[in-house]
Structure 1
Amino acid sequence: MKIRACLLALLLVAPVASASVDRGVLQFEAIRTQQAQIRTGVESRSGRFKELPANTRSELLAKQAQLLSLMEGKQSTDELNETQKTEVFNTLEWIEAAVNNADDERMVCERRAILGSTRKERVCKTAGQLRVEREAARERMDSRDMQR
């Protein structure tokens, strides 16, 4: 099963053992188990991980360590602030993209201020969408500079 499918299942179908559990809450035990399985595969360079480049492998292991450190002593995303929740999501998406060699499909989220408000909203786009938007903005800037 792809990691993305697991993440979506965790996000959308949180454990139903307790009726008071928020459906958008990630349970960290499942993530820890999943990351341990990935680490084992990466370190043994077996299966789908055998073709993973050395630099991606080391970056993946570093991101896992950072993720596990952020989750240490916590049971779910309920115990994190919004910035930490976004960091957990982005790190999991990066790992998923690296494992599946699908960087352009990786979701990247950020918290952006809402114009005219002190509130922030979470905006998520794929890495490919962000790249296209950056390139288009760069081209617009370059064309304006050439018109002057």
Structure 2
Amino acid sequence: MRKFVLTLILAAACTGAVAAPERTPFDAQAVITQQQQIRADIEAKRGAYGKLDIATRQEVRERQDQLLKLLDGRSYEQLSGEEQDQARLNMAWIEYAGKQDDDRLVCERIRTTGSNRVERVCKTVAQRRAEKEANKNNADQMLQGRSASPCGPEGCR
């Protein structure tokens, strides 16, 4: 009986894990407007997209052309499942290309002091840099307030 119950639980868990994620619709007109703004940033060499190297800029333009061709005069509902996936792929690629290193998320596993429990902590590169700088400043302040004498600030007794 116990094996049967465990098998049912395992089957239910696997079925939930295999189920395809729901596709959330997007506003095609808003995507077109966003892509036009990104194209303007590339051409004017401003913002995150203006700082891209030449090859990446060209790839962004090509993916934008593919995306705009897919969405030309059509809404999300009018796209086939394959076209929706292709549109999402292009949008994600373009968005990732514009992300700067400071926006990148870095996760690490940290073991809590006095425990065997491991916790996953995710922070952006900018957050990690700021935290490291704050820790360094705190350590410097503590060292400056410390006396060089082994007797302490009031002297030896």
CA shift for structure 1 position 87: 0.2
Give the equivalent residue in structure 1 for 2:109: none
Tell me which stretches of 4 or more aligned residues in structure 1 moved more than 6 Å: none
Q: Distance in 2 between matches of 1:85 and 1:50?
A: 28
1:26-45 Cα shifts (integer Å, max 9, x gaps): 11110011111100001111
| Per-residue deviation, residues 74-132 of structure 1 (Å, max 9, x unmatched) | 0x211011100100000000000001147x88xxxxxxxxxxxxxxxxxxxxxxxxxxx
* Aligned-partner residue type, residue 63 of structure 1: R
Q: What is residue 81 of structure 2 aligned with on the other side?
A: 82
**Superposed displacement of residue 49, structure 1:** 2.5
Give the match for residue 93 of structure 1: 92
Take 1:60 and 1:91, find their aligned partners in 2: how far apart are those partners?
9
CA RMSD of superposed structures (Å) = 2.0
Residue 47 of structure 1 deviates from its aligned partner by: 2.2
Question: In structure 1, what is the equivalent of residue 65 of structure 2?
Answer: 65
Q: Using the alignment, how far apart are the partners of 1:96 and 1:57 within structure 2?
A: 12
Which stretch has the larger CA shift, 40-49 or 64-73?
40-49
Number of positions where the alignment pairs a residue of Structure 1 with one of Structure 2: 81
One-letter amino acid of the structure 2 residue matched with residue 95 of structure 1: I
Taking the aligned partners of 2:72 and 2:50, their CA distance within structure 1 comes to 29
State the secondary structure of the residue aligned to 1:89.
helix
Task: Supply the distance in 1 between the matched residues of 2:26 and 2:48 (Cα, whole angstroms).
Answer: 25
Q: Distance in 2 between matches of 1:79 and 1:62?
A: 23
Distance 1:88 1:25 in 2: 11
Partner of 2:49: 49
Mapped to 2, the partners of 1:30 and 1:100 lie a distance apart of 20
Structure 2, unaligned stretches of length 5 or more? 1-22, 106-157
Q: Partners of 2:51 and 2:42 in 1: how far apart?
A: 10
Q: Which runs of 5+ in 1 are unaligned?
A: 1-22, 106-148
Task: After TM superposition, list the pairs within 5 Å mapping 1:1-148 onto structure 2.
Answer: 24-74=24-74, 76-101=75-100
